[in-house]
């Protein structure tokens, strides 16, 4: 069981736009640790604070094969993107659902680390997808919103059925 409860699509709280983190303190550091533990246990490769009903601009990612390269990204800002890739995505907020999504192939993101230092990361492939996916959450978007209206309706129906079965 994950440490923090993960909101399930189409929960309206997933549409909340996250506010910037004003101060990086022990509370934010603990939230990042709890989110990382939740992500690893789920298991997933990324988690946005929005998904655990904390509406701050904080994400955790570990897209490594060895699951030991945790990236904590605070107040991310996309400063560059190029190319196009289409890949299958899933989401901890939409369990069991996977579909193809078009994303930028390469991105450059500026962010703050847990010490409040500004960092820049250039990413491609899976890490680029993960950064874009999690940053979407901070803007109140879930990956299924990149799909056709018909697919979105089908996914909502499937998620509602799952919720009834587990209730």
Active site residues: 134
Q: What is the mean pLDDT of residues 94-103?
A: 96
**Residue 144 φ/ψ region, left for φ over 0, alpha for ψ in the -120 to 50 degree band, beta for the rest:** alpha
pLDDT value of position 133: 98
User: Cα(49)–Cα(55) distance, rounded to whole angstroms?
Assistant: 6
Q: For residue 74, is it within any domain?
A: yes
Sign for the pseudo-dihedral over CA of 37, 89, 74, 110:
positive
For residue 89, list its beta bridge partners: 99
> Does some domain include residue 7?
no
Instruction: Indicate whether 1 pLDDT > 50.
Output: no
Is 83 buried (19+), middle (13-18) or exposed (0-12) by CB count in 10 A? exposed
Burial of 126 (0-12, 13-18, 19+ CB in 10 A): middle
The verdict on residue 71 lying in a domain is: yes
Say how far apart CA 23 and CA 165 lie, in whole Å. 41
Q: Specify if 6 maps to a domain.
A: no
- Please report how many Cα atoms fall inside a 13 Å half-sphere around the Cα of residue 136, on the Cβ side: 20
Q: pLDDT averaged over the chain?
A: 96
Asked if the structure places residue 30 within a domain, the reply is yes
Q: For residue 141, what are its two tokens? A: 């978007």
Give the whole-angstrom CA distance, residue 5 versus residue 29: 18
Within-domain flag for 1: no
Is position 3 within any domain?
A: no
The CATH number of residue 82's host domain is 3.90.45.10
Is the CA virtual torsion 132, 134, 121, 111 positive or negative?
positive
User: What pLDDT digit, counting tens, does each position of 107-144 carry?
Assistant: 999 999 999 999 999 999 999 999 999 999 999 999 99
pTM: 0.95
**Distance separating alpha carbons of residues 78 and 6, to the nearest angstrom:** 25
- If one counts the domains in the chain, the total is 1
Assess if residue 25 is contained within a domain: yes
Could you list the residue range(s) of the whole structural domain that residue 126 is in? 12-166
């Amino acid at each position: 069981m994950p440490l923090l409860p993960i909101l399930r699509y189409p929960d309206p709280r997933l549409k909340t736009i996250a506010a910037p983190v004003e101060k990086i303190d022990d509370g934010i550091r603990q939230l990042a640790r709890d989110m990382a533990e939740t992500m690893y246990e789920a298991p997933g490769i990324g988690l946005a604070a929005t998904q655990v009903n904390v509406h701050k601009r904080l994400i955790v990612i570990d897209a490594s094969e060895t699951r030991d390269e945790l990236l904590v990204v605070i107040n991310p800002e996309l400063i560059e993107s190029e190319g196009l890739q289409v890949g299958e995505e899933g989401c901890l907020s939409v369990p069991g659902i996977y579909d193809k999504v078009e994303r930028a192939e390469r991105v450059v993101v500026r962010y703050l680390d847990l010490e409040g230092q500004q960092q820049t990361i250039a990413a491609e492939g899976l890490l680029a997808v993960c950064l874009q996916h999690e940053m979407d959450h901070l803007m109140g978007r879930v990956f299924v919103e990149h799909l056709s209206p018909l697919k979105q309706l089908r996914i909502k129906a499937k998620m509602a059925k799952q919720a009834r079965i587990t209730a």
